[in-house]
Amino acid sequence: AVVAVWFRSDLRLQDHPALYHAMQYAKENDCALLFFFHVHPALSKTFTKRHDYFFRSLAAVRKTAADLKCPVHVVSGELEEAFATIQSSVKSWQAVFYNKDDVGFGKQRDEKAEAWFSKQSIKSHTFEDSHLVGPYDIEKKSGGPYLVFSSYLKAWRDIDKPVPLSIEEEELESLAWRKTTLDTEGEKVLGDLLGKCEMPWKHTGEDAARKRMRAFMNKAITGYHEKRDFPAIAGTSRLSPYLKNGVLSIRTLHHEALRVLEKTSATKQVDTYIQELAWRDFYYMVHVHHPDSKDNEIDANYRGIPWTTNEEWLDRWKTGTTGFPIVDAAMRQLEKTGWMHNRLRMVVASFLTKDLLIDWRVGERFFEESLIDYDASSNIGGWQWAASTGTDAVPYFRVFNPTRQSERFDDEGDFIRAYVPELKNVSNAHIHAPETMSEEEQQEAGCILGKDYPKPMVDHKARRHIVLDTFKQVKEKN
């Protein structure tokens, strides 16, 4: 008989709950292990950087598995059709193991899959993999989910976290079900998608993820609290694309951070890092309990804001030509690399929703198209935080001043110069607000405003008053 392991956004072979438990089951029940990935038809409809990164990560895990003589078969078509292909190829399909999704498209797909497995009497075993603390594991004493992070964090700290699961590669090899190709159509569909990949990613795959994690644990984590806000410094782990695609397990990452915490005197630095992992769990929990939060403000007080529709403004934000250097550098980093530093995500999201008064949903969707670490829960959480419509305790008065943010977090302008070459020769005195240069200074810097680099597209102070009035009125009306 055969036991299947269904790979999804968990593209690794280590510390993989579904794989680990399937191996135990296969040994006990004398079954072979069949690994598969299903290319959902929806995956072929849009192709963004995120898809590029995902398929390259999938190719990487398939390669590692193939080296261990454990083929990860690819099936395509609608879900039922893909499952039927597997069923027709194996003698007896006894059970399936996979790491489940609790929200969004993944949840709907899992429900459909469960119905099919149950009809076919295939035993299904599902696992929580993507988070340390699941969305139903913490409740307020009075019942119901937390909405305030600080209280959630207290409860989160008290919960025992799962530890990494060790998987023996030789054992894997001995259990694998082998047949060169299960679905030639599936291979072709995946081949076509891989043919569309054009980004020059150098570090995809589990080995690269672990290497980056080790480098971070050996050094940067002990300076994390102080350095994490400065985009010109490699102060954060940059592991989010791996976490998002499950190339690195959150348990392994957390476990390694705890090991550093035990040895180091820089406890505050490491603890701040661990707290970020709690934010990730928090936003997932909030999303699971507010499944409509991609479309609706979590805080009903702020529904119905009269957002501005201005295609030209939106386009200037997207293309990094707002005339605010830090915003422009950030948006160009996103375009070039598919990733953006956290401080800058806050700055550009505040700029779009507050300075431009453009709907946070528009920004959220643009990030969905642009980020390789796009995670619906964290992204919605981040956007609703920036727009002051979500779970944050700070009211809408928080409007980031982009120039102040730039002075504080990129004081020498190194980050700006790295992504906005037009400003390369602008002095530190003017790099955060080039419009303060005299004509002579512009000549000297080889940067004529309005020609080489735009003047600021809005007056921040004036826009701040408008946004505060708008939010106040909406709140009073609601």
Nearest-CB residue for ligand FAD:
382
Catalytic entry in 80, 187, 226, 276: 276
Of 2-10, 369-377, 412-420, 434-442: span binding ligand FAD (CB under 6 A): 369-377
Selected from 61, 213, 277, 327, the binder of ligand FAD by CB under 6 A is 277
Q: Does 247 bind ligand FAD (CB under 6 A)?
A: no
CB-based burial label for 108 (10 Å; 0-12, 13-18, 19+): exposed
| Distance (Å, whole) CA 453 – CA 438 | 14
Q: Please, what is the minimum distance in Å from the beta carbon of residue 20 to ligand FAD?
A: 22
Beta-carbon count within 10 A of 257 CB: 21
Selected from 228, 251, 287, 361, the binder of ligand FAD by CB under 6 A is 228
Q: Does 349 bind ligand FAD (CB under 6 A)?
A: yes
253 labeled binding residue:
no
Q: Does 399 bind ligand FAD (CB under 6 A)?
A: no
The verdict on whether 383 is a catalytic residue reads yes
| Distance (Å, whole) CA 291 – CA 386 | 19
SS3 43: helix
Q: Does 471 bind ligand FAD (CB under 6 A)?
A: no
237 labeled binding residue:
yes
Is the CB of residue 474 less than 8 Å from the CB of residue 302? Answer: yes
464 labeled binding residue:
no
| Distance (Å, whole) CA 361 – CA 294 | 7
| Distance (Å, whole) CA 144 – CA 224 | 33
Beta-carbon count within 10 A of 342 CB: 15
Is the CB of residue 99 less than 8 Å from the CB of residue 126? Answer: yes
Is the CB of residue 308 less than 8 Å from the CB of residue 356? Answer: yes
CB-based burial label for 47 (10 Å; 0-12, 13-18, 19+): middle
Torsion of CA 320, 325, 330, 332, to 10 degrees: 40
The verdict on whether 279 is a catalytic residue reads yes
The verdict on whether 276 is a catalytic residue reads yes
The verdict on whether 29 is a catalytic residue reads no
Q: Within its chain, how far is the Cα of 251 from the centroid? A: 16
Selected from 14, 130, 237, 293, the binder of ligand FAD by CB under 6 A is 237
- CA distance readout (Å), 85 to 7, 103, 182, 184: 16, 27, 8, 11
273 labeled binding residue:
yes
Contact characters 256-275, ligand FAD, x per CB under 6 A: --------------------
Instruction: Find, among 248, 265, 246, the residue nearest to 214 by Cα.
Output: 248
Of 140-148, 174-182, 230-238, 312-320: span binding ligand FAD (CB under 6 A): 230-238
Residues between 155 and 194 with contacts to ligand FAD, criterion CB under 6 A: none
Instruction: Find, among 3, 285, 6, the residue nearest to 146 by Cα.
Output: 285
SS3 58: helix
Catalytic entry in 93, 156, 279, 313: 279
Contact characters 307-346, ligand FAD, x per CB under 6 A: -----------------------------------x--xx
Q: What angle do CA 22, 28, 34 make, to 5 degrees?
A: 35
Instruction: Find, among 340, 388, 342, 341, the residue nearest to 366 by Cα.
Output: 340
Residues between 120 and 159 with contacts to ligand FAD, criterion CB under 6 A: none
Q: Does 240 bind ligand FAD (CB under 6 A)?
A: yes
The verdict on whether 317 is a catalytic residue reads no
Q: Please, what is the minimum distance in Å from the beta carbon of residue 207 to ligand FAD?
A: 18
Q: Does 365 bind ligand FAD (CB under 6 A)?
A: no
Selected from 64, 252, 378, 442, the binder of ligand FAD by CB under 6 A is 378
Q: Which is nearer to ligand FAD, 125 or 227 (CB)?
A: 227
The verdict on whether 218 is a catalytic residue reads no
Q: Does 294 bind ligand FAD (CB under 6 A)?
A: no
Selected from 53, 97, 374, 409, the binder of ligand FAD by CB under 6 A is 374
Q: Which is nearer to ligand FAD, 74 or 243 (CB)?
A: 243
- The one-character DSSP state at 160 is P
Selected from 375, 392, 410, 422, the binder of ligand FAD by CB under 6 A is 375
Catalytic entry in 307, 335, 435, 441: 307
Question: What residues are paired with 2 via a beta bridge?
Answer: 32, 93
Q: Which residues bind ligand FAD (CB under 6 A)?
A: 228, 236-240, 243-244, 276-277, 279-280, 283, 342, 345-346, 349, 367, 371, 373-375, 378-379, 381-383, 386
**Which amino acids are annotated catalytic?**
276, 279, 307, 342, 360, 383
Which residue ranges are tagged as binding site for FAD? 224, 236-240, 273, 276-283, 373-375
